[in-house]
Every structure is written in C-alpha cells, then in structure tokens.
Amino acid sequence: MRISRRLRSISAAVAALALTTTLAACAGSAGTGPTAAATSDTPVAGGTLVYLEQQAHTNLYPPSGGFYPNGGVLNQITDKLTYQNPQTLAIEPWIAESWTSNAALTEYTFKIRPGVTFSDGTPLDAAAVAKNYDTYGLGNKELKQPVSEVINNYDHSEVIDPLTVKFVFKKSSPGFLQGTSTIGSGLVSLATLAKSYDELGSATNIIGSGPFVVKNEVLGKEVDLSARSDYKWAPKNAANQGRAYLDGIKIVVTAEDSVRIGSLLAGQGDLIRQVQAYDEDQVTAQNYQVHAAPTKGVNDSIAFRPDNPLVSDVRVRQALLKATDSAEIVSTLFSENYPVAKSVVAQTAVGYVDLSAKLKADPSESKKLLDAAGWTLGADGVREKDGVKLSLTIYESLPQPQNKQVLQLVAQQWAKVGVKLNILAGDAGSRTVDNLDPEKTPLTVAEVGRADPDVLKSQFYPANRDALLQKGGSSTKVKSFSDTTLNALLEAETSQTDLAQRLKDVADIQNHLIDQALVIPIFEEPQVFAAAPYLKGLAFEAVGRPSLYGVWLEKK
Amino acid sequence: MPSYLAGRIGQALLVLWAAFTLSFILLQALPGDALLIKYQNPDMGLSPEQIAEIRASYGADQSLVLQYLHTLGNFLTGNLGYSVSASVPVLDQLATNLPATARLAGLGFAAAVLLAVGIAVLANLARFAWLRTAIASLPSLFISVPVFWLGIVLIQVFSFRLKLIPVINPPEWQGLILPVLTLAIPISAPLAQVLLRSMDDVLTQPFISVARARGASLPWILWHHVARNALLPTLTIAGILFGELIGGAVVTETVFGRSGLGQLTQQAVDNQDASVLQAIVVLAAAVFVVVNLIIDLIYPLVDPRLKKSLGANA
C-alpha cells in the first residue's frame, strides 16, 4: 500500500513535472510567438537568391538598361545620382547629397556624397560622375558608345571641386533631374567607360558602385552576383543603410514560361520575372506572391501612321478608336494587375489626366464615322472606297504581354464595323524594316515606361521613337505627314521650367493625341513577378525593375 | 591512302568556303540586319543620324564585295568579330557554348545508338509475335513525339513532381540526364528503323541459314553475323543524323535553359547576328564534314570488302 502510495506520489510528481514542462514549453512557445512574428519583420542576413529571367541580358552599357533583362542586372550593381521614390515619384538624394539648378534649368550642380567607391576600388567622385554624363550625354564615337535617351540637350560638364560637378545644357532640360534617377543613368567606373561598346555585353566588364558585384558569368545563361560587404551609400531614405542582406544572387535564364513557374513552385527558384496573366492563379493558389509593378509611362497602345492614306482621315482613326473595346480585351485576357487605359499614359504617370469619357467603345458611332468618311461596306463585309479595301496591317510586338491575342481581339472588334486588321509575326529584320514604312504598317504597337512627362516626347517626337512616323523623323519613307501642333506641344513640355505649366502641357498633349485619334490606348502595362512566400523586402524602382538590395530570405 | 585523304581535305575546305559564302549572301538578302534590329529598336531612342553614324563605324555602309572580303579576311585570320546583339566576342560565345553542346550532343548520340541497338536486338530476340511488333513499332512512336513536349513532360514528372533532378542549377552530370534523354529519343528512331530493316535483310541471307543449321543460337548469330553486316547502312544514316543533333539541341537547350550552340543559334537567327551565324554555319559544316570523313574511314574497318574499292579510288 505504502509502496503503491509512494509510487502514486512519484508518478504524480512525474506527471506534475511533465505538465509543468509542457506548460513551460507552451508558455515558452507562446512567449516566442510574438517575438517570432516580430523577427519575421526583422531582416536576416545570408542566403543566395535564385532569380529566373526569361531572356539573357544584352549590352550592359547603362543607357541600354531599358531592356528589362539588362535593367534586372544593372539595378543591382549600379547606383544613380538620385533616387526616384516609386510611390511619390519625388527625386531623393542618393550618390548626390544635394543639387541646385538655375532658373532656366540649363545648369545643374550636384554635391557628391564623400567616401563612395566603385567595386574596383576607384573613387566615385565628381570627375567620375562628369565622365559618366559626358559619355551618356554626348556618346563616344571612338568606342561606339551611343547617347542616352533620357539626357536631352546636353552640352558639357564642369568639375568644380572633387565632390561637386556641374552639368551645362544647350536648352532648358527640366527632365534631366528625373533622368539622373533612371536605370539608364547608372554610374560605372572609368575602367568600364574605357571599354568598347562591343565588349559591354560581358557582365564582368561592368564595374559599378552598387550593393552587388558581378562575380561570375556564363554567357547567355547565368550571372552570379555577390554582396559588397563595404556598401554603405544606399538612397538616403532607404530602410537599410548597410550592406545587402543577401550574400548573393544567381540570375538564371529560363526561357520557358512553364519551366520558370514550375521551378518556382518546386522550390528551385525564389523569384521569377514575366508571369503571364493566365498563370497568376497558379501562383497565388499555392500562397506564393504575385508582384505587379506598374511601368508608369505610355500605355500599351496601337499608334497610327497617318502618312498612310488609309488612316490619314481623322474620322477613320476616331472610328477605329471607338470600335476598340479595351475593357473587353482586359477582362478577356488579363487580370486585375492590368488596369484598362484611361489616357495615353498610366494613372500612376506624372501629369496623367482622366480621358476615359473619350475612350468609350461605341461601335454604332464608329460605323457612322466610317460612312461619313466615304467607306462603304463591300460584299465580303470589309469596307471599301474607290476600289480600295479598308484593310490594315500591324506587326505583333514580342515584348508586350500576350500582344498577339490582344491584336486578335482588336481584329474581331474592328471586323464588326467592317475593318480588316492583318496581324503579322515576321522575323525581326522584316519587322524593323516594315515598321519604318507607313505604307506597309499603318499601325504599330506602342509602349514605353518612364516616370516622367518626357516619356511622351520619347514616344512621339520625330527625333526620338517617332511612333507616328513623321516627315523628317526616323524614316525616309514618309511622304508628308507631320503634326506640327503635337511637336510644338512636346517641345514646349520638355523645356518648360514651370512645373504647373509643364503639367498643363502634358494634359494638352494627351488630349491632342486622343482628339486626333493618333493613339488607341488599351491597358496599363505592368511588369509581373512571382516570388516564394519566404522572400521578403522586394522593392521595385519607379518603372518596375526589381531592386534586390533590401530583399532577405526568411528560411531556406 | 594519303592522296585520298588530301583529296578529301581539299573537298572539305571547298565545302567550308561555300558554306561561308552562301551564308553571307543569304544573310545579306534578308530584310534588315543586326545593326538595324539593335539600334532601330525604340528602346535605344536613337535618331536616324546617330544610327547612320553607328552603321558607318561598323563598316555597314561599305559595298557588299568589300564587306565580304573584309569578313573573309577576318575569318581566315581567326578574328570572328563581335556579336552585335549580345556585345561580346563571338569567340567567347563559342568557347562557352561549344563544350556544353558537344557534351549534350555526344551523350545524346551515344544514348540514341544504345536505344536503337536495344530496340533492334530486343525486337529480334522477342519470342512472341505481338511483343516483336510492339517493340518494332517503338521507333514510329519516338519519331512522332515533339522534342519540345517531351522535354516539358520529363521536367514536369522528374523535376517538379518527383523532385529527383533540379532543372535550375543542377550538378553537371545530373543536369544532363533529362536533356540527353529528350534529345536521344527522337534521334534513336530513324537509327532503330534502319537497323531493324537491315537486320531483317541480313537474317534472310543464306549464310544465316547455314549458321543456324550448324546449331548456332539466335543471340550468337545476331552478335557474330548480323550485327556487323547490318551496321553499314546504320553508319551512313548516323552521319546524316549528326546534323539533326544541332537542330534537336536548339529545342532541348531552350526548354532546359542550358547554354549551348542551339540556344546561341536561335538567338543569332532572331537578331540576324551575322558574325555569330557565320561562325556557327562554318563550324557546323566543319563538324559535318569531319564526321562524314570519319565514317567513310570506318567503313573498310567494318566491312573488309570495301577496302579494295577505297584502294582503287586512291
């Protein structure tokens, strides 16, 4: 009895002990619970990120950074003079601590942050910055380095003291300050600038001052980056001011859409670029993250070449604008990450005005306009005038998401009002040559990302991308078309020093483009990425290139 | 024999020159060129004057004859130039991609031969007619499988579902398993078909009946009499199939994201990158010529009867 009682008391003690331990354990876990939640917001250092790209990078001369695979590499290895806050679009200090400009905006002076070095050990000082901008602003013929698209009217630089540099312009350049924050204005060491343009396709030749350094490259396949341990010059307002959290990044080219998504979901990759709208559900269904970064520039659109007599009549262009139902295109092909266009530029763009009232689809109005313009329905359902069919040709644009499907839907919509749209795929050479000839391509696909009103000039000005193909522009095949009103507005906007007036000019440009029906905006194009659930701190620069500086991996 | 070899090498050089010249003419005949595609791209935002300057700096404004002589001269001195679209020396691109493709194609070809021989032997050894038919119809199945689809299915099953082999950053030998299979299966089909057919032919020859009458077993006959005799037509077709390996490699390398000549060719074609394409064309022609020369030299080893005719030629 005694024994059994003792036994019982022992077992009771053991049970009690067990209970307390369990309780303690529970208490412990309950106690660590909140801290665990807290740590999930506290970055941990270490790990290598595997980033799957759809295409290999090409030339990494920073002004060629517009191509997304290039920007994906350059944004990690180069810093810029200024940082454009992706939310507010304000320009904030980065390598430049402060800056001033004269009232006419023909001179900009930048104070460089002291102690910044390129990864080859050379200083990033006023002289280095001056050499970078002289190259980007004027090009270097001997080394075949072309001029940057974002720097207009550049004249020369002056090194005032080791940490002060001044840029002088031939004309007012209000877009220049924002231009210093773009991917095309990444700062590279003098050793890189001394190399021929032909050799800048090797990532190992690009020496920047960024948080990561190119460690190794397998041409066309893989770029390995490693963190710079002495990095301490992040944008002034960034949360992290020290070295990057990641130890390294492996950028692996994986061309196949299904292999990229499959690899991400199977845990072989951590971050992938170019997720099609129809694949988004597959990613979110497994609690993976979809990041859609807006590109804040000219929307995914169809632009007219009015030099072609078929579309020289504004009524025909307006009819086609009204025949296009962009809401139907978006709801059929895309997801909520692709907003229907409400103007020529995205809602997130600087100077955007809501023109959705002018962009409503109205097939019956469209038919009336075509009738009034003298195009009558033929026996085969295609309108004709003087024996000529209203049959238009466009090349599909490979970089734009599901562009072929978009154009096929447009073709169906236009067929309802009696207009035929032929969609060509073609090889790159034919596409490039034909796209310069308004007779062959009365239409073209247009889109450009840049978070500054200068983006409109980039897209439509004859000396720039010349989407409408004007006389004296990029093509010698143009006979007479020139839109002097538009060009005057674009010139005024890009040299307007008064911000309020500049925004008004931007609004006028948008109204002009839509009233003259020179462009049919369809949707706001995002850059869509997918990431593993444990990937934290992913950020994007102003037009959707990933910034991996603040990224950390919760487990792995 | 030495004069025969010299003749063959002379022939080979002629083939290489023809391949070079023909590819130069064809590339010039296409609309547009690499410089136009690259610099006219709206992403570059260059003006027509700037583009004209760049074209001049590459010598693209010279006459075609001058450009041809210039390129030929560079080629002969081993200067393959730069890739316009990728902005790296073509030699570097070849150095990165050639070994990868050589491994893939070499192993793929070996695997295809193994598969083909396996199918042919198994079909002949099969005891039941239905099994024989089933095995013999495998090549038809293999040849109709699209390489692209096969690659994706293999990845889905072995990498994403069973998680046996990673597609991203696999260890080199592991990473070769699925691509080699993908490449080998369609290539093995014509080999197996020719092998099956020639084995059938040899098996009906009188000397086989004699061997059987003497009590030799079927496997013994297959190994000692049939194999060697059936090998000749198979060798011929193998030489031709080697060219198809490069074609298969384009798709295989793209699906598996491997670097290699296939992927390089595809990109060069997309961008009409003339210097890269010409280097690849000449390289492919050289490999083709060498492989076929080797096969011609192997013939007499396999079949001593051919020694005489070769000697007569020489």
| Contact (Cβ atoms closer than 8 angstroms) between residue A555 and residue A85 | no
Q: List the single residue in A60, A252, A436 with the smallest CB-CB distance to B257.
A: A252
| Contact (Cβ atoms closer than 8 angstroms) between residue A345 and residue A297 | yes
pLDDT tens, position by position, A485-514: 999 999 998 888 888 999 999 999 999 999
| Contact (Cβ atoms closer than 8 angstroms) between residue A218 and residue B96 | yes
B185 has pLDDT over 50? yes
Q: CB–CB of B257 and A221 under 8 A? A: yes
Q: List the single residue in B32, B47, B88 with the smallest CB-CB distance to A430.
A: B32
**A361: CB partners within 8 A, 6+ apart:** A322, A323, A324, A325, A326, A327, A328, A413
Which of A152, A251, A263 is the best substitution to test chain B (most B C-beta atoms within 10 A)?
A263
**How far is Cα A491 from Cα A166, in angstroms, rounded to an integer?**
24
Lowest mean pLDDT among A11-15, A177-181, A337-341: A11-15
pLDDT tens, position by position, A366-396: 999 999 999 999 999 999 999 999 999 999 9
Q: CB–CB of A219 and B159 under 8 A? A: no
Token pair of A34 as six digits: 């909140």
Locate CATH 3.40.190.10 in chain A.
59-82+91-212
| Contact (Cβ atoms closer than 8 angstroms) between residue B7 and residue A405 | no
Q: CB–CB of A146 and B272 under 8 A? A: no
Q: What is the ipTM of this complex?
A: 0.84
Q: What percent of chain A has pLDDT over 70?
A: 93
Q: What is the pLDDT of residue B222?
A: 82
pLDDT tens, position by position, A409-419: 999 999 999 99
Which residues of chain A make contact with B91, given a CB cutoff of 8 A? none
| Contact (Cβ atoms closer than 8 angstroms) between residue A237 and residue A85 | yes
User: Chain B neighbours among A 207-226 (CB < 8 Å)?
Assistant: 218-222
Q: List the single residue in A141, A252, A265 with the smallest CB-CB distance to B168.
A: A252
Give mean pLDDT, residues A281-305: 94
Looking at the 3D structure of chain B, how many domains does it have?
1
Quick one: pLDDT band at residue A66, thresholds 50, 70, 90? confident
Q: What is the pLDDT of residue B8?
A: 83
Say if B173 falls within a structural domain: yes
Q: List the single residue in A221, A262, A428 with the smallest CB-CB distance to B160.
A: A262
For chain A, state the CA radius of gyration. Answer: 28
Q: What is the pLDDT of residue A25?
A: 39
Number of Cβ atoms within 10 Å of the Cβ of B200: 15
Q: How far is A70 from chain B (nearest CA, A)?
A: 11
Which residues of chain B make contact with A148, given a CB cutoff of 8 A? 45
Q: What is the pLDDT of residue A418?
A: 96
| A39-48, A124-133, B297-306: which is most confident | A124-133
Q: CB–CB of B87 and A59 under 8 A? A: yes
**How far is Cα A109 from Cα A168, in angstroms, rounded to an integer?**
9
Q: How far is A331 from chain B (nearest CA, A)?
A: 29
Q: CB–CB of B97 and A220 under 8 A? A: yes
Q: Chain A residue closest to B98 (CA)?
A: A219
Q: At A164, which helix (H) or strand (E)?
A: strand A164-169
A261 part of contact set with chain B, CB < 8 Å: no
Q: CB–CB of A262 and B156 under 8 A? A: yes
DSSP A197-265: GGGTTSGGG--B-SSEEEEEEETTTEEEEEE-TT-----TT-S--SS-SSSEEEEEE---HHHHHHHHH
Residue range of the domain that includes B262: 90-313
User: Chain B neighbours among A 457-516 (CB < 8 Å)?
Assistant: 458-459, 463-465, 467, 473-476
Q: CB–CB of A268 and B167 under 8 A? A: yes
Which residues of chain B make contact with A436, given a CB cutoff of 8 A? 40
Number of Cβ atoms within 10 Å of the Cβ of A149: 24
* Among the listed residues B187, B202, B282, the one whose alpha carbon sits nearest the alpha carbon of residue B240: B187
pLDDT tens, position by position, B192-231: 998 888 888 888 888 888 888 888 888 888 888 888 788 8
Give mean pLDDT, residues A331-351: 95
In sequence order, what are the beta bridge partners of A530? A272, A290
B296 has pLDDT over 70? yes
Q: What is the pLDDT of residue B308?
A: 60
Q: What is the pLDDT of residue B232?
A: 80
A20 has pLDDT over 90? no
Q: How far is A371 from chain B (nearest CA, A)?
A: 36
| Contact (Cβ atoms closer than 8 angstroms) between residue A127 and residue A162 | yes
| A44-48, A143-147, A516-520: which is most confident | A516-520
User: Chain B neighbours among A 111-170 (CB < 8 Å)?
Assistant: 139, 141, 144, 146-149
In sequence order, what are the beta bridge partners of A272? A52, A530
Token pair of A246 as six digits: 């990641």
A34 has pLDDT over 50? no
Q: What is the mean pLDDT of chain A?
A: 90
Q: CB–CB of B54 and A258 under 8 A? A: no
Chain-centre distance for alpha carbon A101: 28
Which of B49, B50, B58, B87 is the best substitution to test chain A (most A C-beta atoms within 10 A)?
B87
Q: List the single residue in B40, B47, B259 with the smallest CB-CB distance to A221.
A: B259
A294 has pLDDT over 60? yes
Which of A59, A257, A437 is the best substitution to test chain B (most B C-beta atoms within 10 A)?
A59
pLDDT tens, position by position, A427-468: 888 999 999 999 999 999 999 888 888 889 889 998 888 999
Q: Chain B residue closest to A145 (CA)?
A: B54
A202 part of contact set with chain B, CB < 8 Å: yes
CATH number of the domain that residue B244 is part of: 1.10.3720.10
**How far is Cα A33 from Cα A384, in angstroms, rounded to an integer?**
73
CATH fold for the domain made of A59-82+91-212 = D-Maltodextrin-Binding Protein; domain 2 (3.40.190)
Q: Chain A residue closest to B148 (CA)?
A: A256
Q: CB–CB of B47 and A258 under 8 A? A: no
For chain B, state the CA radius of gyration. Answer: 24
- Name the phi and psi angles at B91, rounded to 5: -60, -40
Quick one: pLDDT band at residue B1, thresholds 50, 70, 90? low
Which residue type is seen at B298? I
Say if B236 falls within a structural domain: yes
B313 has pLDDT over 60? no
**How far is Cα A165 from Cα A101, in angstroms, rounded to an integer?**
12
Which of A50, A55, A57, A58 is the best substitution to test chain B (most B C-beta atoms within 10 A)?
A58
Give mean pLDDT, residues A87-98: 95
pLDDT tens, position by position, B139-180: 999 989 888 899 999 999 999 999 898 989 888 888 999 999
CATH fold for the domain made of A298-524 = Dipeptide-binding Protein; domain 3 (3.10.105)
Angular region, B40: left φ>0, alpha ψ -120 to 50, beta rest: alpha
**How far is Cα A115 from Cα A130, in angstroms, rounded to an integer?**
17
B155 part of contact set with chain A, CB < 8 Å: yes
Pairing of strands A91-93, A535-536: unpaired
Say if B266 falls within a structural domain: yes
pLDDT tens, position by position, B34-76: 898 888 877 777 778 888 888 888 888 889 999 999 999 999 9
Q: How far is B253 from chain A (nearest CA, A)?
A: 10
Q: CB–CB of B255 and A464 under 8 A? A: no
Q: What is the pLDDT of residue A268?
A: 94
Chain-centre distance for alpha carbon A229: 29
**How far is Cα A30 from Cα A23, in angstroms, rounded to an integer?**
10
Q: What is the pLDDT of residue B262?
A: 84
A317 has pLDDT over 90? yes
Place of tokens 């295609």: A382
Token pair of B75 as six digits: 């080629």
Q: What is the pLDDT of residue B31?
A: 86
A286 part of contact set with chain B, CB < 8 Å: no
Q: What is the DSSP letter of B81?
A: -
Q: What is the pLDDT of residue B309?
A: 54
Say if B277 falls within a structural domain: yes
Give mean pLDDT, residues B14-33: 91
The residue ranking higher by pLDDT, A153 or A251, is: A251
- Distances in Å between the alpha carbon of A230 and those of A34, A96, A117, A121, A209? 33, 19, 9, 11, 10
Q: What is the mean pLDDT of chain B?
A: 86
pLDDT tens, position by position, A193-223: 999 999 999 999 999 999 999 999 999 899 9
Q: What percent of chain A has pLDDT over 90?
A: 79
Locate CATH 3.10.105.10 in chain A.
298-524
Say if B161 falls within a structural domain: yes
Q: CB–CB of B160 and A250 under 8 A? A: no
Give mean pLDDT, residues A325-329: 97
Q: CB–CB of B257 and A202 under 8 A? A: no
B310 has pLDDT over 60? no
Chain-centre distance for alpha carbon A260: 20
Q: CB–CB of A262 and B254 under 8 A? A: no
Q: At A423, which helix (H) or strand (E)?
A: strand A420-424
Q: CB–CB of B168 and A219 under 8 A? A: no
Q: CB–CB of B45 and A473 under 8 A? A: no
A3 has pLDDT over 70? no
Q: CB–CB of B54 and A268 under 8 A? A: no
User: Chain A neighbours among B 240-259 (CB < 8 Å)?
Assistant: 254-259
Counting beta carbons within 10 angstroms of the beta carbon of residue B13, is it exposed (0 to 12), middle (13 to 18) or buried (19 or more)? exposed
Q: What is the pLDDT of residue A92?
A: 97
Which residue type is seen at A74? L
Say if B186 falls within a structural domain: yes
Q: What is the pTM of this model?
A: 0.86
Q: At A84, which helix (H) or strand (E)?
A: strand A82-84
User: Chain A neighbours among B 184-243 (CB < 8 Å)?
Assistant: none
User: Chain A neighbours among B 49-78 (CB < 8 Å)?
Assistant: 50, 53-54, 57-58
Say if B67 falls within a structural domain: no
Give mean pLDDT, residues B245-269: 85
* Among the listed residues B243, B245, B238, B207, the one whose alpha carbon sits nearest the alpha carbon of residue B302: B238
Q: CB–CB of A427 and B30 under 8 A? A: yes
**How far is Cα A125 from Cα A159, in angstroms, rounded to an integer?**
10
B172 part of contact set with chain A, CB < 8 Å: no
Lowest mean pLDDT among A34-48, A143-157, B101-115: A34-48
